[in-house]
Chains A and B, each alone.
Chain A
Amino acid sequence: MATLTELSNARELMVNLTLRELRGKYKRSLLGWTWSLFNPLVTMAIFTVVFLVFLRVRIPPGDPSGMNVFAFYLLCGLLPWNFLANGMNGGMTALINNATLIQKVYFPREILVAANVASWLVSLFIELAVFAVALLIAGNMVLPWLPAVVVLVAVQAVFVVGLALLLSVLNVYFRDVQHLMAILLQLWFYSTPIVYPLTVVPTTVELFGFDLPLRAIYELNPMVGFVEAYRDLLYDLRVPAVGEIAYLLAVSVAALGVGLVVFNRLEPKLAEEL
């Protein structure tokens, strides 16, 4: 069992490893931290042109905010998505990239994965802060909603850490996992209402004479709930559905639970399998 000092040391190690990730990421680049904002901005610009100008995707105006800016609508989904994708990719390779450390020093290995996800969490908060300012300038009074956003980010972080823990150990045993994830993440991206509104997904489709409740199945994807909740809080300025939040919380806790169980199961052999 971990003692109190061990836990406090683990916290400091977590902070230090997170700082290492953050400092290492943009060292020796001229723009440094600006890059972390540049990336979502460029993606946003591309998607805005493709989906708004070329494909003419119609989005409903914010209810009750009345806001109607496609770029902002997009960012509400893109920022949490980037956190998921980066956190999963980074966390997944955190063990392999630190193989020498694992083989030479003992410390709780979960921290490597958690610190990597935490570094992306810091990026997300910076992006959200800049985004909030932009929303305020555009006339969306998001300030009272920000505490709720922080809670939502925390729930999503639990979800991402759970997945990253699971994938990181599996990836040590089967390097296919990272290639498989590259494909699955694409599929996942387009199964999430980021570049289009949820309303374009039909409620039911007919399949072999049966009515398939497509929308309900679609909404099982927890990222649908996350993106919708971010959009509720930041774009529409309304309280997300309670059932939705309860579902997200349950899924996130379950993901963390599964992640921890599998991780602890496979962790003892890590040093020799790497």
Chain B
Amino acid sequence: MSAAVTVDAVSKRFRLYQERNQSLKATLMRRGRSRYEEHWALRDVSLEIPSGTTFGFIGENGSGKSTLLKCIAKILRPDSGHISVEGKVSALLELGAGFHPELSGRENVYLNGSILGLGRKELDRKFDDIVAFAGLQRFIDSPVKNYSSGMYVRLGFSVAINVGPDVLLVDEVLAVGDEQFQRKCNEKFLQLKADGITIVIVTHDLASVRSLCDVVGWVDEGRLREVGAADEVVDAYLDHVHVGRADEGGLGSRWGSGEVVVERLEVLNVSGEPVTRARTGDPVTFRVHYAANQPVERPVFAMAVHTLQGVELTHPTTRQSGLVPERIDGNGVVDLVVDRLLLLPGTYDASAAVTDYAALHTYDHRHRAVRFDVDPGTPHETDGGLVSLGGTWRVAPLRSDQ
């Protein structure tokens, strides 16, 4: 397999100006020297992306992965090293870049298309597809300033994806438009993938990296730390991120009167060790460590799991399970034992709280007390959603002779 993208010993340096010479006066006063610090966004990065693969770059914010993508797109020029790309490149860095608000959708499709390197004849041929894909047939002759932001990015996406690239570069724009359009985008990506187009993605969405990418590169402080099969590299990356996360302590806010406090909330694996990762289907225990500074009657313990976006997935309480101690004093633990964790792969936060029996008074509430990741397990479901129903498929074809 030949390489679609070859990156050879590429370094890129940025100047972080403290006092920028943006005027001649300043330049003359400082005799041409402006004060800046050098920041190496990329250092000696080499890799090959074989043609036809879907390649993902992951890494923390500011690690240099977007810079690398911009270098591949020829928007930034590396300070040393060399990048060669085989075939036509289309970059989805910003959707609808170059749209003129006063011009109609139609005029902007032609304008944007030619910016992305498409000839007029090709655009004539693809025009209907582009408009249909964006679902904007009715609005194509109105000025794009009247478009909603969703319509705007849909049209931008549709132009960019229909230019027929050999190499498609995508930076964090997978989540555009509504649910229906996202599904269309995903289908389109899979189709492009099937057509043998090389796709290079930069994203923080590790779940889509796992499901879309064949090969993943982990960029860390401007260096390429690891390249390999998607699951392995994502796992290695998560391990690394978790080491950093452990000493951060609580993530969210905390409130309450303090008669009883939640000292910490832990996720325990089957051997009873605190973990920050589990697999779908694993047995886990959520353990609340409490400390009652004075005797408290009939307290209620509660726990909740949220997505990072704040969707509450579950909110069990001891009261509803009929388990309310008459009185507590001193330290202790309350466990929520889960036989099978039915969360699908992703990152979640758990919160814990102690209230009085009527849930009118909060002794202590620790919002987002612990963050944990769920990796694919059993049931193996990675095509979307947050929870598994734990169901089993059965296929029973109807026989026509019956």
Contacts from A to B (Cβ < 8 Å): 8-9, 12-13, 15-17, 19-20, 23-24, 27-28, 98, 100-107, 173-176, 180, 268-269, 271-272
Residues in B with CB closer than 8 Å to A107 are 115, 117
Chain A: which residue is nearest B103 at the CB level? A23
Tell me the bound Cα distance from A105 to B107 in angstroms: 18
* Residue pair A272, B100 in contact (C-beta under 8 Å): no
Of the listed residues A15, A101, A102, the one surrounded by the most CB atoms of chain B closer than 10 A to its CB is A101
Tell me the bound Cα distance from A42 to B390 in angstroms: 79
Residues in A with CB closer than 8 Å to B70 are 271
* Residue pair B27, A16 in contact (C-beta under 8 Å): no
Interface string of B78-91 (1 = CB under 8 A from A): 00000000000101
* Residue pair A27, B102 in contact (C-beta under 8 Å): yes
Chain A: which residue is nearest B116 at the CB level? A105
Residues in A with CB closer than 8 Å to B25 are 176
- Measured between C-beta atoms, what is the minimum distance from A268 to chain B in Å? 4
Q: From the candidates B14, B24, B115, name the one contacting A105 in the complex (CB within 8 A).
A: B115
Residues in A with CB closer than 8 Å to B93 are 104-105
Q: Is B23 an interface residue (CB 8 A)?
A: yes
Chain B: which residue is nearest A170 at the CB level? B24
Chain B: which residue is nearest A6 at the CB level? B117
- Measured between C-beta atoms, what is the minimum distance from A234 to chain B in Å? 35
Interface size grouping (class) on chain B: 20 to 34
Residues in A with CB closer than 8 Å to B77 are 268-269
Q: Is B73 an interface residue (CB 8 A)?
A: yes
- Measured between C-beta atoms, what is the minimum distance from A265 to chain B in Å? 12
- Contacts A19-B111, A173-B22 known; 12 new A-B pairs at CB < 8 A: A12-B119, A12-B120, A19-B107, A20-B107, A23-B100, A23-B103, A105-B75, A105-B115, A174-B23, A176-B25, A180-B24, A272-B76
Q: List 9 A-B contacts (CB under 8 A).
A: A27-B103, A101-B98, A105-B73, A105-B97, A174-B21, A175-B22, A180-B24, A269-B77, A272-B76
- Measured between C-beta atoms, what is the minimum distance from A90 to chain B in Å? 15
Residues in B with CB closer than 8 Å to A16 are 110-111, 114-115
Tell me the bound Cα distance from A17 to B100 in angstroms: 10
Main secondary structure of the interface of B (DSSP, over half): loop
Chain B: which residue is nearest A269 at the CB level? B77
Q: Is B74 an interface residue (CB 8 A)?
A: yes
* Residue pair A100, B94 in contact (C-beta under 8 Å): yes
Residues in B with CB closer than 8 Å to A101 are 97-98, 115
Of the listed residues B14, B27, B98, B102, the one surrounded by the most CB atoms of chain A closer than 10 A to its CB is B98
With contacts A101-B97, A105-B116 taken as known, whether A23 is within 8 angstroms of B91 at the C-beta atoms is no
Q: State the 8 A-B residue pairs at the shortest beta-carbon distance, nearest first.
A: A268-B77, A104-B97, A106-B74, A27-B102, A104-B94, A16-B114, A13-B114, A104-B93
* Residue pair B22, A20 in contact (C-beta under 8 Å): no
Tell me the bound Cα distance from A119 to B111 in angstroms: 15
Interface string of B214-251 (1 = CB under 8 A from A): 00000000000000000000000000000000000000
With contacts A103-B75, A104-B91, A106-B74 taken as known, whether A176 is within 8 angstroms of B23 at the C-beta atoms is yes
* Residue pair B100, A20 in contact (C-beta under 8 Å): yes
Chain A: which residue is nearest B70 at the CB level? A271
Tell me the bound Cα distance from A28 to B25 in angstroms: 40
- Measured between C-beta atoms, what is the minimum distance from B64 to chain A in Å? 14
Residues in B with CB closer than 8 Å to A103 are 75
Residues in B with CB closer than 8 Å to A272 are 14, 76
Residues in A with CB closer than 8 Å to B118 are 9
* Residue pair B75, A24 in contact (C-beta under 8 Å): no
Residues in B with CB closer than 8 Å to A102 are 75
Tell me the bound Cα distance from A13 to B110 in angstroms: 9
Residues in B with CB closer than 8 Å to A8 are 119
Residues in B with CB closer than 8 Å to A180 are 24
* Residue pair A174, B94 in contact (C-beta under 8 Å): no
Tell me the bound Cα distance from A28 to B116 in angstroms: 28
Interface string of B99-127 (1 = CB under 8 A from A): 01011000100110011111110000000
Q: From the candidates B21, B107, B114, B115, name the one contacting A23 in the complex (CB within 8 A).
A: B107
* Residue pair A106, B103 in contact (C-beta under 8 Å): no
* Residue pair A9, B91 in contact (C-beta under 8 Å): no
B123-171 with Cβ < 8 A to chain A: 143
Residues in A with CB closer than 8 Å to B143 are 27
Chain B: which residue is nearest A15 at the CB level? B114
B305-334 with Cβ < 8 A to chain A: none
Tell me the bound Cα distance from A100 to B115 in angstroms: 13
* Residue pair B102, A174 in contact (C-beta under 8 Å): no
Chain B: which residue is nearest A28 at the CB level? B102
- Measured between C-beta atoms, what is the minimum distance from A76 to chain B in Å? 34
* Residue pair A174, B24 in contact (C-beta under 8 Å): yes
* Residue pair B111, A20 in contact (C-beta under 8 Å): yes
- Measured between C-beta atoms, what is the minimum distance from A264 to chain B in Å? 12
* Residue pair A106, B91 in contact (C-beta under 8 Å): yes
- Measured between C-beta atoms, what is the minimum distance from B327 to chain A in Å? 64
Tell me the bound Cα distance from A173 to B15 in angstroms: 14
* Residue pair B107, A175 in contact (C-beta under 8 Å): no
Chain A: which residue is nearest B107 at the CB level? A23
Tell me the bound Cα distance from A28 to B98 in angstroms: 19
Residues in A with CB closer than 8 Å to B117 are 9, 13, 107
* Residue pair B114, A12 in contact (C-beta under 8 Å): yes
Tell me the bound Cα distance from A9 to B22 in angstroms: 34
Chain A: which residue is nearest B123 at the CB level? A12
Chain B: which residue is nearest A176 at the CB level? B24
Chain B: which residue is nearest A16 at the CB level? B114
With contacts A174-B24, A174-B27 taken as known, whether A9 is within 8 angstroms of B114 at the C-beta atoms is yes
* Residue pair A105, B100 in contact (C-beta under 8 Å): no
With contacts A9-B114, A9-B117 taken as known, whether A104 is within 8 angstroms of B102 at the C-beta atoms is no
